[in-house]
Structure 1
Amino acid sequence: MLTIIIGVYSLYVLLSIYTSVMQIGYVNLAKRKEAVLLSPSEFLKAGNYSVKKEKLSILNTFLEFLLFLGWISFGIQFLEGQFYFFQDEAIKNIAIVMGFILINYIVALPFNYYEKFVLDQEFGFNKSTKAQWIKDTAISFVMTLLLGSLVVWGVYFILSSFELWWLWSFVFIFAIIILVNMLYPTFRAMFFDKLTPLKDEKLDAEIKRLMDETGFVSSGVFVSDASKRDARLNAYFGGFGKAKRVVLFDTLLEKLSTRELLAVLGHELGHFAHGDVYKNIGMLGVILFAMFALFGNLPESLYLELGLSQQPYVVMILFMLVMPVLGFIMMPVMGFISRKYEYAADEMGSKLGGNGGEIELANALVKLVAENKSFPLSHPIYIFFHYTHPPVIERLKVLGMDIKGVDKSSLEGKCEANI
């Protein structure tokens, strides 16, 4: 059984790296052809950014594989030996699992630092200081330690108390995910971004008009001071029920016109009107259920091959180790469904935008591509495995825009693997 798991994980790593290599080669070829949507200089810059991001992704995947091999060969046993002095089994299990989580967290820090202060700095995204990054990292670390320990304790209790532990663990973790989604805007406002009510009364009234048309009940429209950390444009709807908030990044307000902004928000409200948030949660629930059911029926021989007893902390660590594999396997299905949702939300956004709404949404999409340096072309296999949104060119075509300058050879999936 252990051989099968290692083989499946190795296949996942190879396939993940392969898709990145194909994307790198594809972008390297496409970025030297006629520019699409962007100016020639912006097109080249977006291509270079995409390539460097994928190279970093390959390194991350390779490190993830080394960590996986390290944990299953000696790492779990090593952690087990460090906490032998705990007499209370619950505390011992929490310490071992949190040790696993925090070691992985620390190992990833150099990559996070590089992405923020080298890669994002080079392409003009990073607006954060090193002091701010250290503060954010420290807060995240403490929150991971405290909240993670509570979640681990809950799962430990279930594993120790119920025969159908995998079913009740699924219910518990699924409830935690829903709770996190509800509280995310509040936690983010408390520890990271400063949220202030939207001061533009005219825009606020227009946004509330859109919300009324779709039946979206919100506790308010807020502006996040995200520009102190990053130059990218974004907005999000967070929470459930009356706790929902509309949060606009200040960068979005700065770069988009009022009508473009309303078209973008109309798109997001389209997701709400179609129940996409709840559909996605339901889809996530099905996937989580399948994952827990799988782990609830692993043969005892697997633990014997690992040289470990079937302790709760071993089950939890193994579950977290294989989660990336299962997520990667399910991503094409989730991505396919999600891309269908995006087209429907675009249609709603263009309608809510009034006359010329299609043009306003199209203009907003092009600005988002330019400001976020998103390369508008991708290899088909990369789209299949990674895209939750349709390629922007396809979205623009559906909105009725005439896209010129697309080199047909770039769309045939050819690539030049210059890594």
Structure 2
Amino acid sequence: MLEIFVIAYCIYFFLNVYTSFMQIGFVSKARSMPAIILNTMKYEEAGSYSIEKEKVSILSSFYDFVLFILWIGFGLKSLDSLINVDQGWLKAIIFVDLFIIINWALSLPFELYTTFKLDKKYGFSNMTPLLFIKDTVKTGILFLLFGSLVIAGISLIIENLPLWWIWGFAFIFAVIILINMIYPIIRDKMFDKFEPLKDKELESKIEKLLDEVGFKSSGVFSVDASKRDNRLNAYFGGLGSTKRVVLFDTLVEKLTHNELLAVLGHELGHFKNGDILKNIGIMGIVMFVFFAIFGNLNDELFLKLSINNEPYAIITVFLLFSPILSFFLMPLISLISRHNEYAADEFGSNLQSKNDLVNALLKLANENKSFPLSHPLYIFFYYSHPPLVERFKELGYDVYKISDPSDALKEEFNIDDE
């Protein structure tokens, strides 16, 4: 069994690195061609950013591969020998917490480089060392408190219930639903500053749009995302009574009212098409498959890892090997997601207007420096959203007919400089 997992991880590692190399070569060639969607300067900058990200990804993949070998070679055994605790749930908390903390600490250089070097170089990150430390401490506290409770819960289920993996799945699935419900509240209280929209005219238009499609929310809020990042975004957070519309302050600043309503119209398309429930269902199916696999591992695997077939080991093996299964399932999940995005674009363009949605996508692409082209293999594995070129085609517009997008697109879609 261990051999199968190792071979699967090697394939996973190879595909990760290979697709990154293919993406770098593809973008390098595309970057030298006439710009599309983005203006010329942003097009070249977005291409450079994409290439640098993939180089970091390749280095990170090699680094993770070495860590994986070290963990299965002697790391798990060494960590196990340091923890002498009789209670299964307590040992699971200590062991799994340490496993996660060690992995986080070892991956920290990549996070620091991306946040303070790469993203700052391209004008994205506004993160300060003090804010980074505050965020890290708060995240750590939440993990130690709530993460440890979840670990204890699944440990007790493993120890006391027959067919524990079925009950474990139900428990974790319920926890994820709960997290989605309280996530906006946690963000509001501990990380971000949520405020009612100051632009009451915009708020009134948004509420009218929500009423039109029957979307009930607890309010429309602006969040001070610019203190960390300059990218533009918006989302519907929470479930049930905690649902709220959240707009990044950067989005409110850069988009016109009609463009912003078109973006929200796209998100409401997901709501109207039942994509939220579909995604929850897909997540549940994937998680059930994971629990079915990791809940029926034989003792031989744990023997080769030199650890006991106990709750702490089962949970850790799950965390160590689940990224492999996720990677091979992602193409199918992403295919479904891309289909849903096309449908949401259609809904949003009909709810507001096609021109407003296209204008908004153009501004989002330019402000977020999203390179509009990618290698087909890279799209197959990683794209949950269709490439911008394809989204524009589905909306009835071929960007390749434009030789100078910085001027021609403005004329075509009546984009105002702001």
Structure 1 residue 404 displacement after superposition: 2.3
Aligned pairs for 1:32-47 (under 5 A) are 32-47=32-47
Match of 1:126 in 2: 125
Task: Please say if residues 237 and 244 of structure 2, whose CA atoms lie closer than 8 Å, have aligned partners that are also in contact.
Answer: yes
Task: Please say if residues 222 and 248 of structure 1, whose CA atoms lie closer than 8 Å, have aligned partners that are also in contact.
Answer: yes
Task: Please say if residues 34 and 405 of structure 1, whose CA atoms lie closer than 8 Å, have aligned partners that are also in contact.
Answer: no
State the secondary structure of the residue aligned to 2:399: coil
Of 263-272 and 52-61, more deviation after overlay is shown by 52-61
Match of 1:402 in 2: 398
Task: Please say if residues 89 and 311 of structure 2, whose CA atoms lie closer than 8 Å, have aligned partners that are also in contact.
Answer: no
d(CA) in 2 for partners of 1:188 and 1:117?
A: 22
d(CA) in 2 for partners of 1:89 and 1:138?
A: 28
Aligned pairs for 1:280-299 (under 5 A) are 280-299=279-298
Correspondent of 1:369 among 355, 360, 365: 365
Task: Please say if residues 237 and 247 of structure 1, whose CA atoms lie closer than 8 Å, have aligned partners that are also in contact.
Answer: yes
Match of 1:53 in 2: 53
Match of 1:31 in 2: 31
Aligned pairs for 1:222-261 (under 5 A) are 222-261=221-260
d(CA) in 2 for partners of 1:392 and 1:320?
A: 34
Any idea what the Cα deviations from partners look like across 1:123-145, whole Å, max 9, x if unmatched?
A: 00111211111111111112111
Aligned pair in 2 of structure 1 residues 406, 161: CA closer, same or farther (>3 Å)? farther
d(CA) in 2 for partners of 1:78 and 1:281?
A: 38
Task: Please say if residues 358 and 400 of structure 1, whose CA atoms lie closer than 8 Å, have aligned partners that are also in contact.
Answer: no
Matched letter for residue 22 of structure 2: M
Any idea what the Cα deviations from partners look like across 1:394-417, whole Å, max 9, x if unmatched?
A: 11111122312689xxxxxxxxxx
Structure 1 residue 308 displacement after superposition: 2.1
State the secondary structure of the residue aligned to 1:233: coil
d(CA) in 2 for partners of 1:182 and 1:190?
A: 14
Match of 1:382 in 2: 378
d(CA) in 1 for partners of 2:214 and 2:400?
A: 38
Q: TM-score, normalised by structure 2?
A: 0.94
d(CA) in 2 for partners of 1:406 and 1:187?
A: 45
Aligned pairs for 1:157-306 (under 5 A) are 157-306=156-305
d(CA) in 2 for partners of 1:306 and 1:133?
A: 36
Task: Please say if residues 88 and 310 of structure 2, whose CA atoms lie closer than 8 Å, have aligned partners that are also in contact.
Answer: no
d(CA) in 2 for partners of 1:68 and 1:41?
A: 40
d(CA) in 2 for partners of 1:138 and 1:387?
A: 32
d(CA) in 1 for partners of 2:401 and 2:180?
A: 41
State the secondary structure of the residue aligned to 1:237: strand
Matched letter for residue 50 of structure 1: S
Match of 1:413 in 2: none
Match of 2:408 in 1: none
Matched letter for residue 82 of structure 2: Q
Structure 1 residue 89 displacement after superposition: 3.1
d(CA) in 2 for partners of 1:138 and 1:277?
A: 31
Of 240-249 and 58-67, more deviation after overlay is shown by 58-67
Gaps of 5+ in 1: 408-419
State the secondary structure of the residue aligned to 1:375: coil
Are 2:115 and 1:116 equivalent residues in the alignment? yes
d(CA) in 1 for partners of 2:37 and 2:31?
A: 12
Matched letter for residue 67 of structure 1: L
Alignment RMSD: 1.2
Task: Please say if residues 35 and 405 of structure 1, whose CA atoms lie closer than 8 Å, have aligned partners that are also in contact.
Answer: no
Structure 1 residue 365 displacement after superposition: 0.6
- Spell out structure 1 runs of 4+ moving beyond 4 A: none
d(CA) in 2 for partners of 1:385 and 1:166?
A: 29
Task: Please say if residues 28 and 51 of structure 1, whose CA atoms lie closer than 8 Å, have aligned partners that are also in contact.
Answer: yes
Structure 1 residue 91 displacement after superposition: 1.4
State the secondary structure of the residue aligned to 2:400: coil
Of 298-307 and 219-228, more deviation after overlay is shown by 298-307
d(CA) in 2 for partners of 1:47 and 1:131?
A: 31
State the secondary structure of the residue aligned to 2:303: helix
State the secondary structure of the residue aligned to 2:22: helix
Task: Please say if residues 253 and 261 of structure 1, whose CA atoms lie closer than 8 Å, have aligned partners that are also in contact.
Answer: yes
Match of 2:389 in 1: 393
d(CA) in 2 for partners of 1:151 and 1:406?
A: 54
Count, aligned residues: 403
Are 2:70 and 1:70 equivalent residues in the alignment? yes
Task: Please say if residues 19 and 381 of structure 1, whose CA atoms lie closer than 8 Å, have aligned partners that are also in contact.
Answer: yes
Match of 1:416 in 2: none
Q: TM-score, normalised by structure 1?
A: 0.94
d(CA) in 2 for partners of 1:388 and 1:345?
A: 13
Structure 1 residue 92 displacement after superposition: 1.6
d(CA) in 2 for partners of 1:145 and 1:72?
A: 25
Match of 1:316 in 2: 315
Task: Please say if residues 334 and 382 of structure 2, whose CA atoms lie closer than 8 Å, have aligned partners that are also in contact.
Answer: yes
Aligned pair in 2 of structure 1 residues 291, 406: CA closer, same or farther (>3 Å)? farther
d(CA) in 1 for partners of 2:400 and 2:327?
A: 34
**Aligned residues: percent identity?**
52
Match of 1:5 in 2: 5
Structure 1 residue 307 displacement after superposition: 2.1
Any idea what the Cα deviations from partners look like across 1:142-188, whole Å, max 9, x if unmatched?
A: 21111111110011000001121111111111111111111111111
State the secondary structure of the residue aligned to 1:404: helix
State the secondary structure of the residue aligned to 2:386: coil
Task: Please say if residues 259 and 360 of structure 2, whose CA atoms lie closer than 8 Å, have aligned partners that are also in contact.
Answer: yes
Any idea what the Cα deviations from partners look like across 1:27-86, whole Å, max 9, x if unmatched?
A: 0110011111112111110000000111111122222211211111111111111111x3
State the secondary structure of the residue aligned to 1:248: strand
